[in-house]
Amino acid sequence: MLAKWYVINTYSGHENKARANLEHRIQSMGLVPYFESIVVPTEQVVETKGGEKTQIERRIFPGYVLVKMVLTDDSWSLVKNTPGVTGFVGADNKPTALSAAEVDRILHTSTVEKPKAKAEFAVGDQVKVSSGPLADFTGEVSEVNAEQSKLKVMVSIFGRDTPTELGFEQVKRI
């Protein structure tokens, strides 16, 4: 029989625990031949905190785990009844297999060659606006929103500090 990739729901933040529980149950119930791989999709991200760059691993799809398995009543029941697993992704309680293209995209995202840069800016940094209506103005970073890749910069316009929201790509560190 041919194994296919399926997506299972877990409690967010408990993906690794659900994977460990699933691996343990597969061993103890003797269903190893039905399971090929269990993957928690992650990516490497470079974070800058206090001027120091650190590389961290971040989950790409919080609350989801990929399982390559042969779908039978026994393997389905084993996964469904594993602690930490809330169910399969699919319609009408029937798991939907991922296409080869979807699996390829997800798994290649999880093994990113070059880590993505996170916030390279910190509150108090002096920056120069490189694009937009305020191009060539300088200012001081007053807030960093890494999730949205945005900064709040206090730009001096006509002698008054004016708060301006700019994207990471619109400013350069001085």
Q: How confident is the prediction along the chain (174 residues), in pLDDT tens digits per residue?
A: 689 999 999 998 899 999 999 999 999 999 999 999 999 988 877 776 666 777 888 888 899 999 999 999 999 999 999 999 998 988 777 888 888 888 888 777 544 444 455 567 889 999 999 888 888 999 999 998 877 788 999 998 888 999 999 988 888 888
Which pLDDT score is estimated for 104? 82
Contact 102, 64 (CB under 8 A): no
Which pLDDT score is estimated for 111? 43
Please state, in angstroms and as integers, the Cα–Cα distance from residue 174 to each residue in 33, 136, 141, following that order.
Answer: 58, 12, 11
Contact 8, 21 (CB under 8 A): no
Which pLDDT score is estimated for 81? 92
Every domain of the chain with CATH number 3.30.70.940 lies at 4-117
92 burial (CB, 10 Å; 0-12 / 13-18 / 19+) is exposed
Every domain of the chain with CATH number 2.30.30.30 lies at 126-173
Structural class in CATH, domain 4-117: alpha beta
Which pLDDT score is estimated for 142? 95
Predicted structure pTM score: 0.58
Contact 55, 115 (CB under 8 A): yes
Looking at the structure, give the CATH architecture of the domain made up of residues 126-173. Answer: Roll (2.30)
Which pLDDT score is estimated for 14? 92
